[in-house]
A and B are shown apart, each in its own frame.
Chain A
């Protein structure tokens, strides 16, 4: 029983990281309908911003998530104006290649600037764990979970309770229609892309604490993030939380209870996604 509780706790914690990493992508894909292959690299940028702030100025990553998000917000604005804007009207595939190119460029600029070796930082709470009965969880991932839920709740609030949110939803639903009713689609895209990128960067700062920062870190996350948002259903934000939870739980249980499950957990993750997608597609509409 203890083991089960601990496993559930582990799953909950891990889902926080997954949800945070996927939320930005959910926004980018849901609103701009763009397959952002550079999402992982945006996460990496956030991680490095937080890293340098920590190493050079002693600023804790929890505080750094604001400047990290801001830096990526600004950078994404430039990326949007210079490139994304132009491919949005063209074939979907072009946006894919563009973001792929952006990702490669960012990744290799990071290698040039910082070298390929991962970098880790020290925080006071890295070593602390919170114990609730038989269950023990680390403070750092707990914080990640809290940040993640807060941001997702905030995003939900903005999207469903504010005027800007309504505009974003309108554009996501039908860009032509939105344009016709007088919405500045371009500006909304710019804003949304900025928020999505900022969310990725914030996820990066949290990853820094638990794993570290490295130029190649983005790739692993972007794969799972895509899988999660698709499983949640494109455009379904609360779904991201659920999907993250389900997938993290499956992974945790396989790893904990199945002998030899360490390697199989990956397969289970993707199998779940595969079956969910297929099953949903065959359900009568």
Chain B
């Protein structure tokens, strides 16, 4: 009798200890590489917030495959010298089941090598450069959520068509920053605009952050310009708006496409009716977005206008949903499930299709992600596309 009791206790203990170990050994792990320091840290931190919000929700709902999801969030500073070792560490040390994050194109390109070596499942949050797309040609396990640079441009073209339909605008002046963000495909951009019937009498590059646009804007003034379209970064927003007035350059619409805008720009009168392109604003009428905003505010106590937050949220939730549906962490099965995703997310409808330049890569969002807003009364008012608009396009910018 006693032996039986002892045996029972031993077995029970073993079972308990065994399942503990089992749970720890097979806990699902995901590696997240983000620029938490450096110039891109605003986007990186926004993404981190989104990921953590998703993590909370996922674990509250039971985790992944029945266990708590564990994530490793590392700072790559948007530098390949850091991003490459982090990627390798995720795969070889942390033995993650999938990798997400990856914001900058430079990192996207440099991890091609290590990726092809180990072939992990990658749910890439950012990277718009076609160099990344071509680098991953033939790779089966890349799910690229962010639109590619040419998608961004398509959205711009569609917006310009909308502007022309509503106002008769036909001349566009372009200012682009001379780094990869601004210059990628700029020649093609101009060609396409001309093909669509616009006139582009002026196109010049500038050094971002330098703050001196008077010369360029003076030159632009010599042409009758309906729309000033600039591609740069947040540091350029104020100087362009202010110096346009200084030199007396008055296009009827200023349209900028930086990834983010400076703090305090909304409240500044100079921003009135300046328009920008964004992947999302907190004012979005989509039901999934409203829910996201509510959850975000509940957790963090404030709002964010960075589209990287909901993007990151979407990336992690869809990735883990696919794992749960597949019932395993096996790459091929999860990839198969992830490829079937058709979800209404805070940033729009997500469906994967073969990527244009590298069909093996699964492409998530495209030009439909983008919407245009205008700064009005200290807020961002969406004006395009129609189903997202909360107000009319304010023309005659002065």
Contact = CB atoms under 8 A, between A and B. Distances in A.
A109 interface: no
B270 A129 contact: no
Interface in B224-283: 234-235, 237-239, 242-243, 245-248, 260, 262-265, 267-270
A232 B373 CA distance: 47
Given A120-B238, A211-B238, A260 B204 contact: yes
B269 A252 contact: no
B246 A120 contact: no
B235 A211 contact: yes
Contact of A127 (B212, B264, B265, B269): B269
B225 to A, nearest CB: 16
Interface residues of A, number: 47
B37 to A, nearest CB: 7
Contacts of A260: 204-205
Contacts of A129: 245-248
Nearest to A262: B204
A6 B216 CA distance: 11
B264 A126 contact: no
A115 B48 CA distance: 14
B214 A10 contact: yes
Interface string A239-252: 00000000000011
A19 to B, nearest CB: 14
Contact of B268 (A3, A120, A217): A120
A140 B242 contact: yes
A263 B222 CA distance: 20
B262 A138 contact: no
B196 interface: no
A111 interface: yes
B206 interface: yes
A141 interface: yes
B267 A117 contact: no
A212 B37 contact: no
A256 interface: yes
B149 interface: no
A284 interface: no
B42 interface: yes
A11 B243 CA distance: 13
Contacts of A184: none
B211 A210 contact: yes
A127 B247 contact: no
B179 to A, nearest CB: 10
**Chain A contact residues, majority secondary structure:** helix
A14 interface: yes
A140 B296 CA distance: 39
A129 B10 CA distance: 87
Contact of A220 (B204, B209, B215): B209
A116 B41 contact: yes
Nearest to B235: A118
B238 A220 contact: no
Interface in A85-119: 108, 111, 115-119
B368 interface: no
Interface string B368-393: 00000000000000000000000000
A120 B263 contact: yes
Contact of A212 (B206, B235, B247): B235
B218 interface: yes
B270 A127 contact: yes
B301 interface: no
Interface string A1-39: 001001100110110010000000000000000000000
Interface centre among B41, B234, B246, B268 (most CB of A within 10 A): B246
17 contacts: A10-B214, A10-B215, A10-B218, A10-B247, A118-B234, A120-B264, A121-B268, A122-B269, A126-B268, A136-B247, A210-B211, A210-B242, A212-B264, A220-B209, A256-B216, A256-B219, A262-B175
**4 closest Cβ pairs, A-B complex:** A138-B246, A255-B215, A262-B204, A211-B211
Interface of A: 3, 6-7, 10-11, 13-14, 17, 55, 108, 111, 115-122, 126-127, 129, 131, 136-138, 140-141, 207, 210-212, 214, 216-217, 220, 251-253, 255-256, 260-263, 265-266
